[in-house]
């Protein structure tokens, strides 16, 4: 299967400033998250993939199309929802989305039909004949999503899709994204600084910091791999206990004096922990399976020095 996005030593430079530095990975998930603090280079990466910025070195491919030479093909396969307010205030939503669908190559009649469908799909059906300038912030976000999907692209790029939305509107946006993802007809690239948005929607995540790739994680795989991830709270002589647990083949790390995290091997039986605790007269106060949350992954990535993993 062709990867959705391949980054191949991608560098982007504005003047003398390196904005993206040597990015390289291959992403094939149905929903890919781009995470990073403000100024990490998320939007620059999106704009480079769409051909708005030229790479200084290296390249990237979207569905196998090179961003240096096949910008038009990439754009034909892509729908883009920008971060900022982007619309023509004097146009009605249906006219605006129809025009955008036509610019993507749809014949006029098909574009009109799909503009109506897209507006109903995002929940703006009743407001589709209203001018975009009269829309609330949440409605504008939905209208931006509608214009990004009206032409039925294979990849939808969403730049901070939940920006400025209140909780119900955010939930609605997240639900729409998950619904689209689950149709398997479209891949989604989401750029966000909100961990929760990415965690709720994405299967893969690329974390950027100061233009560098600091972590790439396949969340689905990590979720599966972290099934045997334990968090333990004890009372007693923890050092010896940790050593004993390690001797049984567990990876063990003390997070505080009485707390530890451990990754259990496949064949490990939990009763072994109780046996060891009993032998050492240690009380197990709390034992919980806990997978690494995206927050853990993100914080670990951010702790890496100089933006390097």
Q: Are 124 and 139 in contact (CB under 8 A)?
A: yes
107 touches another protein (CB under 8 A): yes
Indicate whether 47 belongs to the interface with another protein (CB under 8 A). Answer: yes
Report the residue number, 142 or 180, with the smaller CB distance to another protein. 180
Measuring CA to CA, which residue among 248, 285, 255, 254 is closest to residue 270?
A: 248
Contact 20, 45 (CB under 8 A): yes
> Which 3-22 positions form the footprint of another protein (CB under 8 A)?
14-15, 17
Q: Which of 3, 59, 66, 110 binds another protein (CB under 8 A)?
A: 110
User: 23 with 61: CB under 8 angstroms?
Assistant: no
Binding mask 66-95 for another protein (x = CB under 8 A): ------xx-xx-x-x-x-xxxxxxxx---x
- CB closer to another protein, 65 vs 212: 65
Q: Is 103 in the site for another protein (CB under 8 A)?
A: yes
Q: Does 99 bind another protein (CB under 8 A)?
A: yes
Nearer to another protein, 106 or 273 (CB): 106
Residues between 194 and 233 with contacts to another protein, criterion CB under 8 A: none
CB of 110 to another protein, least distance (A): 6
The phi-psi region of residue 229 (left if phi > 0; otherwise alpha if psi is between -120 and 50; otherwise beta) is beta
Which C-beta is closer to another protein: that of 55 or that of 245? 55
Number of residues that bind another protein (CB under 8 A): 51
Least distance to another protein, CB of residue 84, Å: 5
Q: Is 237 in the site for another protein (CB under 8 A)?
A: no
Q: Are 140 and 87 in contact (CB under 8 A)?
A: yes
Residue 178 CA from chain centroid, whole number: 12
112 binds another protein, rule: CB under 8 A: no
d(Cα 145, Cα 59) in Å, to the nearest integer?
28
Contacts of 8 (CB under 8 A, 6+ apart): 24, 58, 59, 60, 61
Q: What is the dihedral of CA 289, 295, 298, 304, to 10 degrees?
A: -70
Candidate residues 45, 121, 273, 301; the one interacting with another protein per rule CB under 8 A: 121
- Residue 184 vs 288, nearer CB to another protein: 184
Q: Which residues contact 40 (CB under 8 A, 6 or more apart)?
A: 208, 209, 210, 211
Cβ-based neighbours of 176, under 8 Å, separated by 6 or more: 121, 122, 145
Residues 133-152 that bind another protein (CB under 8 A): 147, 149, 151-152
164 binds another protein (CB under 8 A): no
Tokens of 188: 């989604």
Phi, psi of 15 (to 5 degrees): 60, -120
CB nearer another protein, residue 108 or residue 283? 108
Angle at 112 between CA 106 and CA 113, to 5 degrees: 95
Residues that bind another protein (CB under 8 A): 14-15, 17, 47, 50, 52-53, 72-73, 75-76, 78, 80, 82, 84-91, 95, 99-100, 102-108, 110, 114, 116-118, 120-121, 125, 147, 149, 151-154, 179-180, 183, 185-186
């Amino acid at each position: 299967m062709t990867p959705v996005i391949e980054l191949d030593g991608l560098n982007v430079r504005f003047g003398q400033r390196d904005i993206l530095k040597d990015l390289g990975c291959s992403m094939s998930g149905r929903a890919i998250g781009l995470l990073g603090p403000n100024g990490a280079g998320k939007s620059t990466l999106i704009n480079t993939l769409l051909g708005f910025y030229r790479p200084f070195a290296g390249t990237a491919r979207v569905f196998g199309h090179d961003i240096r030479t096949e910008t038009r093909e990439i754009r034909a396969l892509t729908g883009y929802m920008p971060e900022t307010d982007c619309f023509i205030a004097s146009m009605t939503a249906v006219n605006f989305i129809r025009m955008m669908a036509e610019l993507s190559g749809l014949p006029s009649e098909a574009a009109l039909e799909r503009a109506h469908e897209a507006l109903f799909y995002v929940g703006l059906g009743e407001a589709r004949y209203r001018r975009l300038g009269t829309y609330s912030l949440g409605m504008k976000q939905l209208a931006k999503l509608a214009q990004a999907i009206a032409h039925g692209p294979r990849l939808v790029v969403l730049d901070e899709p939940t920006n400025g939305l209140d909780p119900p509107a955010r939930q609605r946006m997240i639900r729409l994204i998950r619904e689209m993802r689950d149709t398997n007809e479209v891949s989604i690239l989401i750029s966000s600084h909100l961990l929760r948005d990415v965690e709720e929607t994405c299967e893969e995540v690329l974390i950027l910091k100061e233009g560098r790739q600091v972590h790439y994680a396949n969340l689905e795989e990590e979720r599966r791999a972290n099934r045997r991830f334990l968090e333990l709270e004890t009372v007693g002589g923890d050092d010896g206990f940790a050593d004993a647990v390690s001797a049984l083949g567990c990876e063990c790390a003390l997070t505080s004096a009485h707390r530890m995290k451990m990754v259990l091997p496949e064949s490990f039986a939990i009763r072994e922990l109780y046996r060891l605790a009993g032998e050492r007269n240690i009380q197990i106060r709390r034992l919980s399976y806990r997978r690494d949350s995206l927050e853990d992954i993100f914080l670990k990535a951010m702790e890496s020095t100089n933006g390097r993993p």
